[in-house]
Structure 1
């Protein structure tokens, strides 16, 4: 995998942009070929250094950026092959045909990379949605739940971005704030400065957190304990009760499936999470992956809140995500009672790019059906 995938990612652009009939001068052809070969070799090396045992942030920053750039170039090079076929059928000959395609691909790639960086690094737009729950009591009608997910604080420093996200969240005047997992990549010691601003989030009825799959790669226990010190309530296969106006909402959370075998007692346990909960009260479940909604339906959960998908993050990666997850983003209904809200995520993982999949800070306003 470490050989074949990088080779393919660079070979297709090399053919479409360099060797496919453009007739570039010898020095241009040689330089471009060396650049593609060097990228194919450097990519797995940088990713291994950045995400392997050494956890080199410098290597990770370069590696994931290179991965994002070559993915965009690869995608549009594939589309360039299709464009070449159309032009060839129309009678356009080389080198004009191949050079026109090269110019078009490079132009689109340049625009999308600039757009993608801006979208990834900006403070996310606020996305508001009303969710009607049949069992919601009148005292909880209008409850505002702000959702963060997939902040992925990692090797790219984002402390100021984190503080600005907190300002936006507090300005929304939430009753409850939840983080649906994938908080950070790396140790608490390495990411403390980026995560610490979350301690300033204000929510009168509570701040709740579940670990995602990425916390388990660096030790979920340390992040659970750290969020507790910041005043958040981790919900790992357990629940709390939110009460207002005499009515109650069960706010439950389950671990990510990645936790099985990684932590003592790790992995999702929905029966344990709902043990002792009032069966007449509506249930809002935090579960990192949308596919966990299957168990939520069986348990009669009213609303599941998830992240994980990033909405695909860099088009057309969403096609691969859809092979594993039932939905990419937004509100969907599953079974007779259960609704699922899937966030596109607040931050980004890996490449600092978001192409046709903008990030979000979500406000879910709960309403009586």
Structure 2
């Protein structure tokens, strides 16, 4: 007869080392990633048959070694306990540069080299040098273009969305969405003011900010956030927290937004009425609030909808798109989110999709009526680059099926 308790004990003991080894590997990822980001471009550009003169090899290797050692040190000084903005700028810029170099070193180092080999272009050294100059040229172009895209005032993305339960009196309601402004080490007070000026040209009924206002405390980034107080809306300005608020005194940001005249929708709702019809505008704290330890901060959809008529249409603000599973289960009509940045620097969007159900734009979720709009964000986080992921200010025009002028599908988009 087998002693099952002994077997279970043995199995349990055998599982512990496997979990421990996995945890050790995960712990080493922050150490492995910088090595790959700098070592791969170094190898492709300098050591794959180019036969550069010795001074070029030494200088190139020294530059990559500086990046490998300097990037994590600068990021630790900038984003760690010391919170030094200059160090953060250096570290973030090196991170974005290394990612772009890594991406194009891998792509061109394989695809272009293969194409040149198949076409029998030159000798191996000629092909290696063509790849090197191509990687450097494309990377420089992406860095320059990406920096310009990140620092510009976002284009306006206009979208008409039909909500089946929206009353005719609310047809044409203009909702402006900004999100992920990420005021941070680079002083963007002037950029912030210009963004708010553009928002004010859109004649919004409702303006929403779905979180990640800044990287840093409200006291530290107050000057950059202050222009948000100039935003105009005929009905309301509403705000919910993002995950980055919970890295930097979330309650301070809630208080500042309240002071600037915005309505923090912390697991609560307000009613927007027009033409005899009503829209429930609800908001929840970010999902990371649950583990923040801050009293009263958590993502609580039932609390946000408490007291609302279940027959009324609901517009929900939730920072992360993945909250849409809960929204769909509750029959929410439209959820507005940010968080993804559209990937920010291509092809990082593939990693974002591992964590989120949507990257950008309008999508349908669940077996009910729930729509999700995911913004690519208004600002940028960390590296001051946006590559194939342009920022946006979003104007959503809500349409009712109960008016003869409403579009048949209710979903059209344009950018300006």
Report the TM-score range of the alignment, normalised by the length of the smaller protein: over 0.9
Q: Does 2:87 correspond to 1:87?
A: no
Q: Secondary structure at the match of 2:97?
A: helix
Deviation (angstroms), 1:80: 2.0
Deviation (angstroms), 1:89: 4.0
How far, CA to CA, are the matches of 2:207 and 2:30 in structure 1? 40
Deviations 1:188-243 (A, max 9, x none): 12101100000000102000000100000001100000000000000111111111
How far, CA to CA, are the matches of 1:131 and 1:248 in structure 2? 17
Deviation (angstroms), 1:258: 1.1
Report the counterpart of residue 374 of structure 2 in structure 1. 342
Report the counterpart of residue 287 of structure 1 in structure 2. 318
Match of 2:138 among 102, 108, 113: 108
How far, CA to CA, are the matches of 2:150 and 2:93 in structure 1? 12
Match of 1:57 among 85, 106, 110: 85
Report the counterpart of residue 44 of structure 2 in structure 1. 16
Q: Secondary structure at the match of 1:174?
A: coil
> Within 5 A, what are the aligned runs for 1:180-329?
180-262=210-292, 263-329=294-360
Report the counterpart of residue 64 of structure 2 in structure 1. 36
- State whether residues 128 and 364 of structure 1, in contact with CA within 8 Å, keep that contact through their aligned partners in structure 2: yes
> Within 5 A, what are the aligned runs for 1:157-172?
157-172=187-202
Q: Secondary structure at the match of 2:124?
A: coil
- State whether residues 16 and 80 of structure 1, in contact with CA within 8 Å, keep that contact through their aligned partners in structure 2: no
Deviations 1:155-200 (A, max 9, x none): 1110000000111100100000000111111011210110000000
Deviation (angstroms), 1:112: 1.0
- State whether residues 327 and 342 of structure 1, in contact with CA within 8 Å, keep that contact through their aligned partners in structure 2: yes
Deviations 1:285-333 (A, max 9, x none): 0011111100000000000000000000000000000111111111111
How far, CA to CA, are the matches of 2:57 and 2:286 in structure 1? 48
How far, CA to CA, are the matches of 2:60 and 2:232 in structure 1? 53
Report the counterpart of residue 123 of structure 1 in structure 2. 153
Deviation (angstroms), 1:244: 1.0
Q: Does 2:103 correspond to 1:72?
A: no
How far, CA to CA, are the matches of 1:297 and 1:110 in structure 2? 43
Deviation (angstroms), 1:111: 1.0
Report the count of equivalent residues: 369
How far, CA to CA, are the matches of 2:321 and 2:83 in structure 1? 29
How far, CA to CA, are the matches of 2:177 and 2:31 in structure 1? 39
Report the counterpart of residue 48 of structure 1 in structure 2. 76
Q: TM-score, normalised by structure 1?
A: 0.98
Deviation (angstroms), 1:98: 0.5
How far, CA to CA, are the matches of 1:333 and 1:188 in structure 2? 35
How far, CA to CA, are the matches of 1:243 and 1:198 in structure 2? 24
Deviations 1:84-117 (A, max 9, x none): 2332344442210110001111111111111111
RMSD of Structure 2 on Structure 1 (CA):
0.9
Structure 1: tracts of 5 or more residues without a match: none
Report the counterpart of residue 362 of structure 1 in structure 2. 394
How far, CA to CA, are the matches of 1:321 and 1:187 in structure 2? 26
Q: Secondary structure at the match of 1:3?
A: helix
Q: Secondary structure at the match of 1:145?
A: strand
Deviation (angstroms), 1:260: 1.5
How far, CA to CA, are the matches of 1:61 and 1:246 in structure 2? 51
> Within 5 A, what are the aligned runs for 1:174-185?
174-185=204-215
Deviation (angstroms), 1:81: 2.1
Q: Secondary structure at the match of 1:278?
A: coil
Deviations 1:106-132 (A, max 9, x none): 111111111111111110000000110
How far, CA to CA, are the matches of 1:52 and 1:249 in structure 2? 43
Structure 2: tracts of 5 or more residues without a match: 1-28, 402-416
How far, CA to CA, are the matches of 2:315 and 2:237 in structure 1? 14
